[in-house]
Amino acid sequence: MSDITSQSLFELTSNIKEKKLSSEEITKAFIDRAEKSKKLNVYVTDNFEKAIDQSNKFDSNPNFDLKLPGIPIAVKDLFCTNGVRTTAGSKILNNFVPTYESTVTQNLWSQGAILLGKLNCDEFAMGSSNETSFFGNVQNPVGENLVPGGSSGGSSAAVAANLTPVTIGTDTGGSIRQPASFTGTVGLKPTYGSCSRYGIVAFASSLDQAGPMTKNVRDCSMLLEVISSFDQKDSTSIDYKRNNYSKELSKDIKGKKIGIPKEYRVDNMPEEIEQLWKNGISYAKDCGAEIIDISLPHTNYALPTYYIVAPAEASSNLARYDGVKYGFRSPGQNLIEMYEKTRSEGFGDEVKRRIMIGTYVLSSGYYDAYYLKAQKVRQLIKKDFDDVFSKVDAILTPSTPSSAFKIGEKTNDPVSMYLNDIFTVPINLAGLPGISIPAGKDKNNYPLGLQVIGKPFDEQNILNISYALEDKINFKNDISDWWLSE
């Protein structure tokens, strides 16, 4: 048996069901490794003591019918966890301990999983490098001083560094897929409405979606199966029959039509990305898929549209952090002064930038020109996808326009930071499912990902295509454990 922490979710659940490993052994192994991995700064809050208690509890009365029997899992610190501090990576929620559980994490615990701790992320999920977190940078295990992507950077780093078997992140414009791509892991953003948003600290309500982040596609299907559910507590949750994704996972994608959108060949795209994409196409062909050139004419407008819609919603969603009810408060002589001080000191620069953009685009006199127009363009982007999905079953693109960059490299250039999301935001705007799988490496040996985009509620199809490609690509993420301390 290989080292516990390097095992996949599939292996761990098999070993636990076959009683080759106990929940306690597994939990302790991940905790031991975490103790030696502080340099990566993946944890904002750990739950190690309680996790060991819970693993003992599981072992003394195990239920092997559950889908995550006694499996310890760390989650992004955007999910509210009952009794465990939830910060959203922000000073303003530094002291916030929810008395409730998000539906998605509840789904994990209901299937036997155990909370290991809360993973670092960009503040309120606003960022592409985990550098906006109040709790500091996360190191990408792929290489020292590399960003792990964002906003689910603690999550991607934790999976890549074997600090959690799997994790869940949230994806508003690419926050699961881009960090997955940067760390050589798998990340899936489900169809909008698949996973409940109840109990997830909101960034942009019409775009936010939770999803699995894993070592491989099979684990991804196993985890999606657990977290995806209809929830009456979320009015945008959609009631449809969800698949038994892991059971129906298949590499047989013969005859599947895969679209290649010409608009994703952007200027200055590195040769390596171009090559990665070509390789992906030829693997798909090898698997018997049919490749079809398609056009998504409004792709160019996706990024500006996103950077109007998302900040607009965020500016309103974040109004509740005012120092009155919970979280950080900086006292003032009067209400206005208290607001100003609390929000000035409690929010970081990127969050403030987006609140200002959002406030601006919703202001009277600018609403029509920005917000309303962006909503119209969003419909056109969605229509682009609707149109091509009458011809193809899925779409294949690169996940990101580059590999992981150095910490600090883009912090002074927000626009170049935003450009990271260029291939991922259209999928959020259209509410579609998208998955990033590791597909190759660049000249520095940093991972690169390919994205498979599906029709609404067709997660099974993109999982199957990814499963088939994964097999052909045979990616190895040789990470050297450079950060480990004794």
Partner 1 sequence: MSKNSEFLIERENKQYEVIIGLEVHAQVTSESKLFSQSSTKFGAEPNTQVSLVDAAFPGMLPVINEFCIEQAIKTGIGLKAKINKKSVFDRKNYFYADLPQGYQISQYKYPIVGEGKVILDMPNGQKEIGIERLHLEQDAGKSIHDIDPNNTLVDLNRSGVALMEIVSKPDLRSPDEVNVYIKKLRSIMRYLGTCDGNMQEGSLRADVNVSVRLKGETEFGTRCEIKNVNSIKFMQMAIISEANRQIDLLEEGKEIDQETRLFDTKRNETRSMRSKEDAHDYRYFPDPDLLPLEISQELIEKIKSDIPELPDEKKKRFIDKFNLSPYEATILVSDIETSNFFEEVIKNSDVKLATNWITGELFAVLNEKNLEISQSPVSAKNLSKLINLIKDGTISGKIAKTVFEQMIDGDQDPLIIVKEKGLKQESDPKAIEELINKVIENNSDKVAEYKSGKDKLFGFFVGQAMKESKGKGNPQLINKILKEKLNG
**Residues recognised as catalytic:** 76, 151, 175
Q: Residue 316 or residue 477: which is nearer to partner 1 going by CB? A: 316
Q: How far is CA 6 from CA 413, 451, 484, in A?
A: 36, 24, 15
Min dist CB 79 to partner 1, Å, is 8
CB count in 10 Å sphere of residue 300: 14
User: Which residue's CB is nearer to partner 1, number 281 or number 360?
Assistant: 360
* Spatial contact of 88 and 125, defined as CB atoms under 8 Å apart: yes
Q: Which is nearer to partner 1, 1 or 336 (CB)?
A: 336
Q: List Cα–Cα distances, 181 to 270, 398, 481, in angstroms.
A: 15, 9, 19
Q: Which is nearer to partner 1, 82 or 110 (CB)?
A: 82
Tokens of 420: 């990271």
Provide, rounded to whole angstroms, the least separation between the CB of residue 421 and partner 1. Answer: 19
Among 478, 204, 466, smallest CA distance to 351 is for: 204
- Toward partner 1, which CB reaches closer, 333 or 390? 333
Distance CA 468, CA 283 (A): 9
How far apart are CB 298 and partner 1 at their closest, in Å? 21
Tell me the closest approach of the beta carbon of residue 380 to partner 1, in angstroms: 18
Q: How far is the CB of 284 from partner 1 (least distance, A)?
A: 35
Q: Write the secondary structure of the chain as one string of H (helix), E (strand) and C (coil).
A: CCCHHHCCHHHHHHHHHCCCCCHHHHHHHHHHHHHCCHHHCCEEEECHHHHHHHHHHHHHCCCCCCCCCCCEEEEECCECECCECCCCCCHHHCCCCCCCCCHHHHHHHHCCCEEEEEECCCHHHCCCCCCCCCCCCCCCCCCCCECCCCCCHHHHHHHHCCCCCCEEEEECCCCCHHHHHHHCCEEEECCCCCCCCCCECCCCCCCCEEEEEECCHHHHHHHHHHHCCCCCCCCCCCCCCCCCCCCCCCCCCCCCEEEEEHHHCCCCCCHHHHHHHHHHHHHHHHCCCEEEEECCCCHHHHHHHHHHHHHHHHHHHHHHCCCCCCCCCCCCCCHHHHHHHHHHHHCCHHHHHHHHHHHHHHCCCCCHHHHHHHHHHHHHHHHHHHHHCCCCCEEEEECCCCCCCECCCCCCCHHHHHHHHCCCHHHHHHCCCEEEEEEEECCCCCEEEEEEEECCCCHHHHHHHHHHHHHHHCCCCCCCCCCCCC
Nearer to partner 1, 29 or 308 (CB): 308
In the complex, the smallest distance separating the C-beta of residue 197 from partner 1, rounded to whole angstroms, is 6
Chain residues binding partner 1 by CB under 8 A are 79-80, 86, 88, 93, 96, 98-100, 102, 197-202, 204-206, 232-236, 312-313, 315-316, 318-320, 322, 324-326, 335, 339, 359, 362-364, 367, 371
Residues near 194 by Cβ (< 8 Å), separated by ≥ 6? 209, 228, 238, 242, 433, 457, 459
Shorter beta-carbon distance to partner 1: residue 198 or 245: 198
CB of 236 to partner 1, least distance (A): 6
Q: How far is the CB of 42 from partner 1 (least distance, A)?
A: 21
For partner 1, give the closer residue by CB, 119 or 204.
204
Shortest distance, CB of residue 297 to partner 1, whole angstroms? 26
Nearer to partner 1, 98 or 280 (CB): 98
